[in-house]
Chain A
Amino acid sequence: MNNFLNRVFNTEFLPMSEVRKIKITVVMVFLLFLTAVTIPFSIFLNYSTVFKIIAISAMSLVFLLMVFLIRWNKLLIAIHLTIIYSIFLTLFYTLGSTNLYAYLFFYITLVIIIFYQEIYVYILYGFLVVLFGSFYTFVNQDGLSLPSDIFGSTYLFLFFLILFFIIFLIQILLNEKFYTELNYEWVRMNHVLDKYQDHILIYLNTIRKSMKESPFYEDLDFQKAADELAVFIYEQFAENGKEITNVLDLYIYIHERGLDKILSNDEFSVSTKKIANRLSKYMLDQRTEMFSMIVNFHTKFKATAEYKENRYLYNVESFSENSDERIIALGLLYMFLSNEVFGLDEWDEMKRKMTKEEVLAVFSSEDAESFFSSAEIGFLKDNFELFEAFLGKQSD
C-alpha cells in the first residue's frame, strides 16, 4: 500500500505504462468503493430484490475479472472494462432512480473516462454517456427540477452536461497535441544524445586501450564484484544464488561471442535466447541503455559552467543582439563545420570531415531554422563565395 502511494505521488518520474497501471488501479479502487456503497443504497432503487442481487453479483464478477486483467498486464482491455463497468453503474442508478444524485453519475462516469486521457476512448464512451444523459434529462424532468423552477431548467441540465463534455474534449485534444510535441522533442533529443554517446564510447575505448586497461567484461575483478553483489541481492529473494550466476555468465558470454551468434545457435534454449536478448540492452561494450546511464550519471559529478538563462539555446540569435557579432558567430560556425572532425571515416578512424555539400546542407535543411534565422541563411547565401574562399575547407 505504502509502495503504491509512493508511486502515485511520484508519477512524474514513471513511464507511461506504469502510469496507466496506476490509473487503472485508482479507478478500480474507486469503483470498488462505489460498488460497496451501492449495496446498501440499492434499497432505494426501484428494482426487484432478485434483479439487485443479480446485478451486484455480476458487477462483483466483472470486478474480479478486472483484477486478473491487471495481473496479466492486459491494460487496454482493463481500461475498457472499467469504463463499461462505470457506465453500467450509471445505468443501474439512473434507471432505478429519478433523483438528482443519479444524474450526478453521468459526470462521475465522464470523469473516469477523462482520467485515462485517451482521445478515441473519450469520444466513444463520452458521447454514449452524454447521449444517454440527454435522454435521461428529458425523461426525468420532474425528478431533476423543482416544482417552481426557473425557465428552461431542463435545458440547463442538458447544456451543462454537453458543455462539460466539450470542455474536456478540447482539453484532451490539446493535451494530445502538447504531449505529441513534447514527446517528439524528447525523442529527437534522445537521438542526438545517442550520437554524442556513440563518439564518447569510441573516445573512451581509445583512451582505455592507451591506458592498457581491459574492458569491463574481461576484467576478472569486475566479474567477481558483480557476481558477489548479484548473489547478495538475489539471495534476499531466493534460497540460493545459482540462477543469477548463470544469468551473469550468459551476460559475459554475450560480450565474448556476440548476441547474433547466440540467437542463431540451436544449442541454446528459447528461454536462454530470450534472456540474452533482454540482457543485450545492458551490454557494456556498445552504446546501450547501460552505457548511456553510466555516462549520464558520471556527468553529474563533472564540473560545468554556471547556469545562465541561455544555457540550452544554441541558435546564433541567442549569442548576441548585435548583427556584427552574429556575423562573426556565423563565420566561425561555417569554418568549424568545414574543418573539424565529424565522425568515423572509411577506415573506422575519427577523422572524417564534412564535405562542402554536407556543410551547405546544414544551412538548407528543414532543421536549419533551429540554429539560424532566415536573415542569417540569406546572408550566407548572398556571400557564399566569400565564406567558401576564407572560411571553407583549409588544406591539411
Chain B
Amino acid sequence: MARKKAFIFSEIEDYRTELEIKHLRTKNHFVLGFLLLMMILTIVYLVLSGQTLVDSIPVVIAFLAVLIMNITHLAYGRITPSFYQMNKYVTTVGTFFLSILMIFTFRSPSMVISLFIAYSIAAFYQDMKVLFLSNTFMLLTVFAIIVNNPEILGLASATLDARVGIGFFFIAFMVILSISSYIIVKQKSFFFNQIASAKESEFRQLDLLIELKEKLKEENLPSETYFSHLEAFTEAFCKKIGSANVFKEKIAVLRDLDKGISEEDLLVKYPTLTKTDLSRMEDLLMSGHHKLRKAAMKIMYDQNIHIKKREIFSETQFKSFNHQSDRLEIKIIAFVLFYTALKKGFAVLPGLEEEKIYDALIHSDFYYSMDPRIVRIYQKNSAVFDEIVKDAFKKKVRR
C-alpha cells in the first residue's frame, strides 16, 4: 500500500488543527446536551420503574461524574484548546462506562442496546481515535456478555440461530458503522485540507503578485510618501481631539524598519521597545512582502465577489487533471502539458528540476489530482520523461 502523502504546502497543518478545534467546540456542546438529556430520562425511568436505591444511586453518580468531567474540560478548553481534544476521549470512555454499568446493573437485553447509543454519541466527534476507542469498548463488552454473561441476552436457553446471529450482527453493525465513520471523518478532512491549502495558496500568490509588480516596476507610491502623509494625518487627528501626537515615535520606528536598520540598533535607539514589538510593527510596513501590503491587496481583490448557489458543492471547484467526465486522452494531454510547462518555465517562473517535480507529484497530496494510471506510468518512467523533454528543448530550459 502506498505511503501517506504529505500536504503540498507543509505550513497548513496548524491551520487545519485550528479549523478542527473550531468545529469540535460546537460538537462538544451537542454531546453535553445529549448526556444531560440521557441523565434526565434515566432518572425519570429509575423513578417510574421503582428501582432500588442500591441500583439507582451508582447510575446517577456515574452520569454526574461524566457530566462534570465534560463541563470541566469544556471550561478549560477555552484557555487551552487541547482540553477540547481530551474531552472527546474522556466523554467516549464515560458514555461507554455508563452503558456497561446499566447493562450489568439491570441485566436486560434492552439495556444492551444502550451500547448503540454510546456508539452514536461517540460517533458525533468524527475522530479516528474515538472510533478506535468505541470499537474496542463495543467489542469487549459484547464479547463479555456473550461469553461470560449469556443470561443477559437470554442466550443460555436460546436457539442456535439466536446465539450465532446476535454475535454476528453486532459485529456487522460495528464493521459498517466503523467504515462509515472512517469515511465521514475523511470527508470532513477534505474541506479542512482544501480551505487550508487555499489559504496558503493565497499567501504565496500574493507573494508572487508582489514579485511580478516589482519586476514590472509598476508605479507604487514610495514608502516615504506613505509615512509623510501618515504623519500629517495623525498630527491633524491629534490636533482635532486636542492631544499630543502619540503616533510620532511609532511612525519613526516604521520609517527606520523600512530603511532596513538592524534590530539591535533599533533596540538601542528605542529602548522602550522589545524584539516582539519590532516584529509586530514590521508587519505594518507597506513595502516589500510585509503583511499590511498583503492585507491591502487582499482587501482590493476581495471586492465584488458573488457566489452562485449552484457553485456550492460543485465539482468544478475541485481543480484536477482527473475529472471523471474526461476521457483518458484528455487526462493524458492535461498531464503532459502540465509537466512540460513545469519543465519549461514561464517568464519569471523558472523551469523546475526533475527531482522537485517528481517529489511533489508523487509524494504530496498533488498525487490525487491526477489519474492514478497516468501518474503510475510517470512514476515508473520519470527518467524517460525527463530525457524526452531535455531532448526536445535541447537544454534551452531556463534555471
Contacts and interface: CB of A to CB of B under 8 A. Distances in A.
Contacts of B305: 188, 191-192, 367
A11 B110 contact: no
B336 interface: yes
A261 interface: no
A295 B208 contact: yes
Given A189-B199, A203-B216, A383-B237, A197 B1 contact: no
Contact of B381 (A100, A175, A232, A278): A232
B123 A171 contact: yes
Interface residues of A, number: 171
28 contacts: A10-B368, A13-B367, A22-B183, A23-B183, A37-B168, A44-B159, A104-B173, A117-B184, A149-B109, A167-B117, A168-B123, A180-B312, A188-B305, A225-B389, A225-B392, A228-B392, A312-B203, A319-B280, A319-B283, A319-B284, A320-B284, A328-B230, A329-B292, A337-B296, A386-B236, A391-B229, A394-B221, A394-B229
Interface size, B (range) = 35 or more
Contacts of A174: 26-27, 30
Given A19-B190, A151-B48, A320-B281, 18 more contacts: A10-B186, A15-B320, A22-B183, A146-B108, A150-B106, A179-B191, A186-B198, A190-B317, A225-B393, A226-B337, A233-B332, A234-B329, A234-B332, A244-B333, A289-B319, A300-B9, A324-B250, A386-B240
A225 B299 contact: no
Given A2-B1, A105-B169, A319-B283, A247 B329 contact: yes
Given A189-B202, A233-B377, A361-B303, A15 B110 contact: no
A182 B175 contact: no
A228 B388 contact: yes
B208 A299 contact: yes
B337 A284 contact: yes
Contacts of B250: 324-325, 328
Contacts of A190: 198, 317
A344 interface: no
Contacts of A361: 303
A203 B209 contact: yes
A335 B330 contact: no
Interface stretch (A49-57, A59-67, A119-127, A205-213): A205-213
A292 to B, nearest CB: 6
Given A150-B108, A386-B237, A111 B176 contact: yes
Contacts of A268: none
A207 B283 contact: no
B283 A200 contact: no
B232 interface: yes
Given A101-B162, A187-B312, A213-B347, A164 B117 contact: yes
B131 to A, nearest CB: 13
Q: Is the interface of B mostly helix, strand, loop or mixed?
A: helix
A3 B1 CA distance: 9
Interface in B182-232: 183-184, 186-195, 198-209, 211-213, 215-216, 218-221, 225-226, 229-230, 232
B43 interface: no
A302 interface: yes
A87 interface: no
B166 A387 contact: no
Contact of B299 (A14, A301, A314, A339): A314
Interface in B283-338: 283-284, 286, 289, 291-296, 298-303, 305, 307, 311-315, 317-321, 324-330, 332-338
A10 B183 CA distance: 9
A294 interface: yes
A187 B153 contact: no
Contact of B49 (A101, A150, A232): A150
Contacts of B291: 314, 319
Interface in A216-244: 216, 219, 221-222, 224-226, 228-230, 232-234, 236-237, 243-244
By Cβ-Cβ distance, the 5 closest A-B pairs, closest first, are A101-B165, A44-B161, A225-B392, A12-B189, A151-B49
B36 interface: no
B141 interface: no
